[in-house]
Structure 1
């Protein structure tokens, strides 16, 4: 249930020499513009304090890209030079060479200056010759410095860029409730959005993503948030550049998050994710771009008070489950079949949702009569002209997923072909998947016989 789209990342420095052909992605001036050689690094990067391995969830790694558009050969030929230098900032930051190439390094130097032989198209996320900045021994949260980069092209031109590094990180978390139980169908679920900084340095600007699953809808379309069109109102993204959160402190966003709860969905969920704007979202997060502003009230941040700070805080994408106080009556039907021994006959196993709600995932379990043999079973397409059984067989019972989308009044039928071997009786029944409960008011109709008549 995750929304997919373009991931927002922190801004990057891109300094380039104008050249007629090729270039580093993002360094051109628009469609049709000549591409340029360039080097791209983060404007700002936070470093864990010395000896501290905790920090933000799924942090985006340090990223360096460089390209010489006039290089005769790119990948695989180390005929360019990348220099990384922290001279003058030694009290805050040092350099570490990747250990992958330790025995035969193409990078060499000290903790303050490293030179690497790289290709004309270099990317630290994919190339094995990497140099990492880290917090210098003895540095403290808030200490800062500069990491300078230069990339020398084949014809001797030097491209330069710089990253400001800060010791310590803003670690942004949101207050979460794992499960909201017995929520009234058709009600409005209201919960505050509380953002806390558990890091070592202040949060300077907050980004926020909220997403709702089937059965939930935003009651307000916040005036200072955007609603990407592809997500059809199920996702909103907000930015609060003026919000400051000191270490250990929290803010609460108001008005509280209000969600309209459908009458027909038993289970749904919603997501909260917050991040420091100058760090960007977590590495594997998907934050869609674009979208129009809402026409409702503006979300504003205020200091969190005692009650707001109670509960559990978590980083990254945080999902809360919503269980609605309703039920679904599922029913299966008896089947009878007759015929000579060795003859084949279809049996149609039907499961129907008598409502009033749509539950979580359910499974139809079919145990054939022992005297019969299953000659054919339901199949599903997994590729063009490629099929596989849609039911799993375990110890004589077929398990067929009904799924989670069987709405009130709808039915699904699974067709098996049996080769008969004499009078006998099997069964068909429906069961909930792990972690769900239909709260079925009539469990007696959850099971029915499958009978081979004499």
Structure 2
């Protein structure tokens, strides 16, 4: 037998064996099924009685339970969920939320509640909910246990429990809403100060730093993660050993250093901090993964009196950066030649003479009296579906200059007019609502559009 034939037979045998083993593995996979589960928070902080302040956009208490072998997973109330705080009544009590008020699915008292639910239960979407709240007379720091039991149709009891603590760590950051007259090409230094305005200690701090167009990180902290798709614009840092007592603050060194663009008039950055055992705010997105930076490590220091001046805000804290520069937008005169009832195209050009981009502008076109616009700029809103790009209000077309214009760039808007006779209209450029160009030559912001005889 040839060496080639032997090799082919060996290959065929290996393939058959692989398929056979794969078949057995497949049978095992078919036998494996998703398990019934109940899920609750391991730890949850409770607002003190009568106090409605607290963290910004806190994630609500969440219970999920699922019986994968239930005959009916939704709508049929053939399962039992029991919530019990017996033994912890000094710290926590139960509160039933039922929007119907008649024949509630949940019944019981402040220590034990029984709910009739479906085979798939989610306290964020189901109408009947049981919440743990701070007991009357409880004090910050008091704690207790909330026990959950979910019965499946096969008679199995799934259990879980949550440790609750009265009082909350409320993490806030020092913020400067607007940094004004920042030099183009400079390095902006912003202090990173974290404060606990809550009733119980912060045990571990998470921090997110993000920059927008116009500023960039001067360095990448050695103990922060930079997620791959946002490595130039987002840093995520964790300090599990950092404890901040109520009413105290810490400063992280070195300060946040940002390179300021020479070509943008406006930029922004934002910061967010949270207690690690509470997690980020409800709508916050904190990417996972990423490599550590190669710059200095963020280190914790005691906050000075100067650090505590200013405003402290919870949640996602935004700061605007206004760069000390300007942008000179220019429009040019346009002359229209043509016989009456002829159609003529006008090219309305807006140019940015720089040196910076303000990030937004509008071109306003008032056609000459007696002319009719028969064609205007269009934009695609779906495949082969278009709509006018410019808004029309009281005879004036308003065309947004998307993203503004970089210095030295121009944008042209074409309109086709049916000529009705001599007349003069106008074209001008103006800021969008949130920009101010500090235009050094406002005279070239307006120009005539003239139909000549």
TM-score (norm 1): 0.91
Which runs of 5 or more residues in structure 2 are unaligned? 1-28
SS of residue paired to 1:66: strand
**Alignment partner, residue 412 of structure 2:** 413
**Alignment partner, residue 383 of structure 1:** 382
Indicate whether 1:188 and 2:187 are aligned. Answer: yes
SS of residue paired to 1:244: strand
Do the aligned residues in 1 keep the contact of 2:361 with 2:404 (CA within 8 Å)? Answer: no
SS of residue paired to 2:282: coil
**Alignment partner, residue 6 of structure 2:** none
Structure 1 residues 193-342: aligned runs within 5 Å: 193-342=192-341
Which deviates more from structure 2 when the two are superposed, residues 370-379 or residues 55-64? Answer: 370-379
Report the alpha carbon displacement of residue 396 of structure 1 after superposing the two structures with TM: 1.5
SS of residue paired to 1:122: strand
Moved over 6 A (4+): none
Report the alpha carbon displacement of residue 410 of structure 1 after superposing the two structures with TM: 1.1
Alignment partners' CA distance in 1, 2:340 and 2:307: 71
Alignment partners' CA distance in 2, 1:385 and 1:232: 37
Report the alpha carbon displacement of residue 232 of structure 1 after superposing the two structures with TM: 3.6
Report the alpha carbon displacement of residue 310 of structure 1 after superposing the two structures with TM: 0.1
Indicate whether 1:111 and 2:110 are aligned. Answer: yes
Alignment partners' CA distance in 1, 2:380 and 2:287: 31
**Alignment partner, residue 8 of structure 1:** none
SS of residue paired to 1:319: strand
**Alignment partner, residue 22 of structure 2:** none
**Alignment partner, residue 73 of structure 1:** 72
SS of residue paired to 1:130: strand
Residues 277-322 of structure 1 show CA distances to partners (whole Å, capped at 9, x for unaligned) of: 0111110111111111111111111111100000001011111000
Residues 370-404 of structure 1 show CA distances to partners (whole Å, capped at 9, x for unaligned) of: 21111122111122222221111112211111132
Do the aligned residues in 2 keep the contact of 1:345 with 1:419 (CA within 8 Å)? Answer: yes
Residues 62-95 of structure 1 show CA distances to partners (whole Å, capped at 9, x for unaligned) of: 0000111111210111111110000011111111
Alignment partners' CA distance in 2, 1:453 and 1:110: 86
SS of residue paired to 2:93: strand
Report the alpha carbon displacement of residue 33 of structure 1 after superposing the two structures with TM: 6.6
Alignment partners' CA distance in 1, 2:231 and 2:89: 50
SS of residue paired to 2:128: coil
Report the alpha carbon displacement of residue 213 of structure 1 after superposing the two structures with TM: 0.5
Residues 198-219 of structure 1 show CA distances to partners (whole Å, capped at 9, x for unaligned) of: 1111111100000000111111
Alignment partners' CA distance in 2, 1:183 and 1:60: 37
**Alignment partner, residue 101 of structure 2:** 102
Alignment partners' CA distance in 2, 1:140 and 1:62: 20
Indicate whether 1:154 and 2:161 are aligned. Answer: no
Alignment partners' CA distance in 1, 2:101 and 2:90: 25
Alignment partners' CA distance in 2, 1:171 and 1:287: 19
Do the aligned residues in 2 keep the contact of 1:253 with 1:301 (CA within 8 Å)? Answer: yes
Report the alpha carbon displacement of residue 231 of structure 1 after superposing the two structures with TM: 1.4
Do the aligned residues in 1 keep the contact of 2:360 with 2:402 (CA within 8 Å)? Answer: yes
Alignment partners' CA distance in 1, 2:342 and 2:92: 80
SS of residue paired to 2:364: strand
Do the aligned residues in 1 keep the contact of 2:267 with 2:321 (CA within 8 Å)? Answer: yes
Alignment partners' CA distance in 2, 1:217 and 1:34: 49
**Alignment partner, residue 123 of structure 2:** 124
Structure 1 residues 361-380: aligned runs within 5 Å: 361-380=360-379
Do the aligned residues in 2 keep the contact of 1:360 with 1:437 (CA within 8 Å)? Answer: no
SS of residue paired to 1:422: coil
Alignment partners' CA distance in 2, 1:186 and 1:405: 20
SS of residue paired to 2:289: coil
Alignment partners' CA distance in 1, 2:334 and 2:103: 72
Alignment partners' CA distance in 2, 1:453 and 1:185: 45
Which deviates more from structure 2 when the two are superposed, residues 159-168 or residues 332-341? Answer: 332-341
Alignment partners' CA distance in 1, 2:436 and 2:378: 27
**Alignment partner, residue 3 of structure 1:** none
Report the alpha carbon displacement of residue 220 of structure 1 after superposing the two structures with TM: 1.3
Alignment partners' CA distance in 1, 2:275 and 2:415: 55
Do the aligned residues in 2 keep the contact of 1:95 with 1:111 (CA within 8 Å)? Answer: yes
Report the alpha carbon displacement of residue 35 of structure 1 after superposing the two structures with TM: 2.2
Alignment partners' CA distance in 2, 1:231 and 1:418: 47
Residues 169-210 of structure 1 show CA distances to partners (whole Å, capped at 9, x for unaligned) of: 111110000100111111100011000111111111100000
Alignment partners' CA distance in 2, 1:425 and 1:405: 27
Alignment partners' CA distance in 1, 2:228 and 2:333: 47
User: Radius of gyration: which is bigger?
Assistant: 2
Q: How many residues align?
A: 424
Do the aligned residues in 2 keep the contact of 1:252 with 1:301 (CA within 8 Å)? Answer: yes
Which runs of 5 or more residues in structure 1 are unaligned? 1-29
Indicate whether 1:172 and 2:168 are aligned. Answer: no
SS of residue paired to 1:307: coil
SS of residue paired to 1:340: coil
Report the alpha carbon displacement of residue 427 of structure 1 after superposing the two structures with TM: 0.4
Do the aligned residues in 1 keep the contact of 2:227 with 2:291 (CA within 8 Å)? Answer: yes
**Alignment partner, residue 58 of structure 1:** 57
SS of residue paired to 1:309: coil
Residues 92-133 of structure 1 show CA distances to partners (whole Å, capped at 9, x for unaligned) of: 111111121321211111111011111111111111121111
